[in-house]
Amino acid sequence: MPMPWTYRQATREWQAFLAEARDAMNLESDNATFTAVQGVLQAFRRRLTPQQAIDFAQVLPSVLRALFVAHWHLADPAAPGTRSDWTAEAMALRPHHNLTPQSCVAATALALRKSVLREDLDRVLATLPAFAADFWSTPGIDPATLGPSII
């Protein structure tokens, strides 16, 4: 089997994702974007069982997958919550260095949907709790503009 694309092109995929997220959040630095994305991923992960989180991680590009599982302390899943709950959690990560905007969940969802094949993401979301589809939704965005630009 040839080496999977996501390992061969990990840096290109990560840079493309980070640029999409940075632009969607109107942030000026990769560092601020990294913190925002990390907070969003952790907010989502907290609401999944370990198996659900691993299933979700399987469709992520390699660097994003690593970020999703990094510094994970297993605990019982949190309640699904709402977009405002998820946003507050993301904004609370590293509070003294956090420039995360209110749009962080929507912006991260947009960047993710521009980095992952729609069929793969939708397939895994269909196996997760109902809130997951809302978490990663991109209302008002033309689906034709989504999907990875690097294949």
pTM of the model: 0.94
Is the residue at 147 inside a domain?
Answer: no
The model's pLDDT over 72-127, given as tens digits with 9 standing for 90+, comes to: 999 889 999 999 999 999 999 998 888 999 999 999 999 999 999 999 999 999 99
Residue 142 lies in a domain: no
Instruction: Please report whether residue 56 resides in a domain.
Output: yes
pLDDT of residue 150: 67
Domain with 84 in it = 5-72+79-137
CA distance 151 to 147: 10
Identify whether 112 is part of a domain.
yes
pLDDT per residue as tens digits for the range 13-27: 999 999 999 999 999
pLDDT tens across 36-63, in order? 999 999 999 999 999 999 999 999 999 9
User: Residue 87 maps to which CATH number?
Assistant: 1.10.490.110
- Distance CA(18)–CA(67), nearest Å, equals 12
Q: Is 16 contained in some domain?
A: yes
| Residue 149 belongs to some domain of the structure | no
Residue 22 lies in a domain: yes
Number of domains in the chain: 1
Q: Given its phi and psi angles, is residue 140 left (phi above 0), alpha (psi -120 to 50 degrees) or beta?
A: left
Please tell me the predicted confidence (pLDDT) of residue 151.
58
Can you tell me whether residue 78 is helix, strand or coil?
A: coil
DSSP 4: P
Tell me if 90 is assigned to some domain.
Answer: yes
What span, in angstroms and rounded, lies between the C-alpha atoms of 70 and 65?
9
